[in-house]
Amino acid sequence: MENLYLIVGLGNPGAEYARTRHNAGFQVADRLAQRWQAGWTYEKKFNARLAAAARNNRRVLLCEPQTYMNASGQTVGAVVAFYRVPLTGLLVVVDDADLPLGELRLRPGGSSGGHHGLESIEQHLGTRDYARLRIGIGRQRGAREITAYVLGRFNSTEAPLVDRVLTVASDQAETWLGAGIAKAMSQFNGVVTDPANERNEQ
């Protein structure tokens, strides 16, 4: 469909995974739906939650695959094919344990970086050439096995920064939609200021 954009937030479905570090993509998609007053529906044929909105004279679909993270490509591939979404109109929002908490990095393509959700999408689309917005969630120092960490929730001291990061990431996604990827990268890529540090400087 002409003029259709697709923003996919990655995560794991179910209450036990809600608001975990690995679900940062879901949380950004939820914020955008809230901003745009777009209601979620479950689409069985895609095994996904979808929400439709109109922004900047463009039609936008928000998508949260319900396949579990490692099979995200099943949903993304099906939605892209059904709606004929051009790859230039696809943005995937994903957590990244290799970036420190508070850092945002939007890129027009690239490797999966070992992220199983991105690996699955690459496999089903047959390309790496789609935009991805990585949200830094940090990792435990020296820890190689990070499964328990990424499936854990942010702690209370991280909460104010996480809230701001999700807001800024949503702003970045909106800028990608309205002004293009170059503007969104130059304006937002980098470290989001921790509100706690601002208070300490006052």
- Residues involved in catalysis: 22
CA distance 15 to 12: 9
Question: Which of 189, 17, 19, 28 shows the shortest CA–CA distance to 102?
Answer: 189
Is 47:65 a contact under the CB 8 Å cutoff?
yes
Q: How far is CA 192 from the centre of its chain?
A: 16
Which residues share a beta bridge with 171?
none
Which residues share a beta bridge with 42?
49
Question: Which of 25, 36, 132, 40 shows the shortest CA–CA distance to 87?
Answer: 132
CA distance 48 to 112: 22
